Structures are given as structure tokens and as C-alpha cells.
Amino acid sequence: MKALRDILVAIKEPGARSQPALRKAGQLAEGSGARLTLFHALTTPLAFDAFASVGQTVQQAQKQFRERALAQLAKLAAPWQARGLLVNVATDWDFPAYEAVIRQARRQGADLVVAERHATRHLLPSLLRFNDWELLRRCPVPVLLVKRGGDWQRPVVLAAIDPAHSFAKPAKLDGTIMAAANLIAGSLGGKLHVAHAWPGMPMPASMEELVISAPDPDRRARREARATFDAEIDEAGLPDAKRHFVVGNPVELIPKLARRHRAGLVVMGAISRSGLQRLVVGNVAEQVLDSLSCDVLVVKPAEFKTRVRPQRRGVQLIATPSYLA
């Protein structure tokens, strides 16, 4: 993850009194000197035949909605501008919302997208298309999902890496995760911790394999996994107290580590899968997300390519439902 110069804040409700994503993005901008762009996607369908009765065209209605959203965004930006930050506002007719955010991030060359986490717990995330899940899966830019309100107070930033590449993630992704975690920790005056939840050796296919294998294979494999973990992070110069090697399921252990060390942010990597492989293997980042009570930053491999098309979809035009006509 490169230096923070341009942060895109996805504003779900410009008129809402609480804006946790903006608060956290503002802290990062103050710590890094980055520029903020507050963006709201206009996704409400417009009934093309509903405005004639009031003497208004669809184009006039679009302009009215857009101007109101920009005014609300400008109101949100004003306090941060007064603190000396460079803050822009933008809105666009586009849908779905996660695609609109990705397109805006690509247009402005954002280094980070900050979004508020969907309030409800996700069931069957691989089958349902919530905007935050889709943003996490498809956005090529690192995405910070804000789950907790309030400000960060010199937070513990926990980087969750996988040196064993147990989940078939690219080898360079661990370096990207640690670089992002270190960058965020530095911007916030926080403390960097690094964790690896090693799932352990796979069970032998038969008792015969168990008999012929080397003595204490699990102990040896664990020692090798720990050595690989230490070698991965030696350059960071972290003391043992900030290195956390645990054995077990990452989906269970990463949230436990985050709670134990009172992490304000967990940084992890994700790769996008689809079809049957996604349903069977799942995505560790997605499974961990619901269990974490703190904020989550998700980064992708450098070679990740989004399937979101660059062209805007524009406004959704529909006919007025017959029961409202």
C-alpha cells in the first residue's frame, strides 16, 4: 500500500447526524496529510412519468437531487476544512452503490476507500449482495470498513498475515498487509502488532501414513511455521510481545487476538473467488469480518483486477407503479 495522498469516503446517508466513516477518515487525513473526497452515490430510481404532473422534467429532478446531496456533503466537509484539511465533495447518478464507489475511486486515483459497515449481521455472505461485501470483494483499492463509532486513540493495529499461504493467497500479499498496517499505525500514532493463525498440519489420509511419517510431525511442522512467521517480520524489528503466533482456525483466533489486545483496527488480505470454490472455501476476510468488533482494513494483491466496468450506469428510470398512479 502506497502513501496516503487521496482518501475516498463513501457517504451512505449525507443527512445522517452520525458519520463514523468520515470521523475515522478525517483522523487518517490529519495524520497523513491526505486529501479527502466525500462521495455519495445517487441510486434512487426515478419514475419518468411522475414529474409531468408537477411541471418538472426528469432532468430537472436529477439536478435537484444532485444539488441537495452536494449541499449536504459540503456541510459535512466544512468542519474538516476549518481544521485545515483539503476536502472535496462529489456525487453521481450511478448504481449499484458499490460499483459507483469503485468507479469514483478509480477516476480520482484514490489510495484508500473508507466506508461505513452495514449495520446488520450478514447471513450467507457468499450468496447475498450487500454493498459492503461487494465493495470488499471487488474494489482494487484498499477498503477500510468502519464498524465502531468514536475516534481512534493511538490504536493497536493488528496485521493478520499467512506466511504458510494456507489459503492460496499470493506470497507478496503479506508484505502488502504489513506495509498497510504500519502506514496506518504511523498515521494514527498507534502500535503495530502482527499475527499468524496457523491452522496446523492436515490430518493424514490413513493410519498407514501416520505410522510411516517422521516422529512428532506436527511439532516439527509447527516449529517450521513459527520460523517462517518470524522470518517474515524480522525486518519490522517487532519485539516478541507484538508477535502473535497461534495454532487453530483463523476465523476464530483472529477475533480473539483482536479482543485480547484491544485492537482498534485489523488489517487483512483478501482475494476474490466466485462460483462453487467461493461457497466451499469461502473467504477468510469475509468470515472474520462479522466476528470482529473493531474496524477492518482489507487489501488485495497488486495483480488484482476488478470486473467493475468504468462506464457509469446513470439514473434508473422506471414507470410509476399502477397502485400509485
Q: What is the mean pLDDT of residues 188-198?
A: 95
Give me the pLDDT at residue 255, please. 95
**Domain contains 72:** yes
How far apart, in whole angstroms, are the C-alpha atoms of residue 142 and residue 140?
Answer: 7
325 lies in a domain? no
Band of pLDDT at residue 321, cut at 50, 70 and 90: low
Nearest to 8 by CA among 127, 101, 125, 132: 101
Q: Considering the domain boundaries, does residue 29 fall inside one? A: yes
Q: Which one is predicted more confidently, 207 or 38?
A: 38
Task: Give the domain range for residue 74.
Answer: 6-318
The pLDDT assigned to 167 comes to 56
Q: Would you state the pLDDT for residue 188?
A: 97
Residue 236 reports pLDDT greater than 80 = no
Query: Quick one: DSSP state of residue 240?
Result: G
Residue-level pLDDT at 215? 54
pTM for the full predicted model: 0.88
Residue 303's pLDDT band (cuts 50, 70, 90): confident
Mean pLDDT of all residues belonging to the chain: 85
Mean pLDDT of 155-182: 85
Give the domain CATH number at 199.
Answer: 3.40.50.12370
Question: Which of the four pLDDT bands, split at 50, 70 and 90, describes residue 274?
Answer: low
Does residue 205 surpass a pLDDT of 50?
no
1 occurs within a structural domain? no
Is beta strand 143-146 parallel, antiparallel or unpaired with respect to 295-299?
antiparallel
pLDDT at 302: 85
Whether 167 is in a domain gets the answer: yes
Classify residue 323: in a domain, yes or no: no
Mean pLDDT of the 167-171 span: 61
**pLDDT higher than threshold 80 for residue 187:** yes
Mean pLDDT of 47-75: 85
Tell me the per-residue pLDDT of 306-319, one tens digit each, with 9 for 90 and over.
989 999 999 888 87
Any domain includes 116: yes
Average pLDDT over every residue of 83-102: 96
- Asked whether residue 34 is domain-assigned, the answer is yes
Query: 43 is written with which cell numbers?
Result: 441510486
- Quick one: CA dihedral 192, 170, 289, 106, positive or negative? positive
pLDDT(147) > 80: yes
Residue in this structure with the C-alpha cell 493497536, named with its chain if needed? 156
Confidence of residue 128 (pLDDT cuts 50, 70, 90): very low
149: Cβ contacts below 8 Å, ≥ 6 apart: 18, 20, 23
Q: Is 140 a residue whose pLDDT tops 70?
A: yes
Q: State mean pLDDT over 51-71.
A: 85
Residue 256: CB atoms within 10 Å: 13
Identify the CA nearest to 62 among candidates 321, 315, 319. 315
Share of residues in the chain with pLDDT > 70 (%): 81
Domain count along the chain: 1
Contact at 8 Å (CB) between 259 and 249? no
User: Closest by alpha carbon to 24, among 287, 258, 296?
Assistant: 296
Please choose, from the candidates 13, 33, 8, 121, the residue with its C-alpha nearest in 3D space to the C-alpha of residue 75: 13
Q: How many CB atoms lie within 10 A of CB 324?
A: 7
Residue 112 pLDDT > 80: yes
Question: Would you call 307 exposed, middle or buried from its count of C-beta atoms within 10 A (0-12, 13-18, 19+)?
Answer: exposed
Residue 279 has pLDDT above 60, yes or no: no
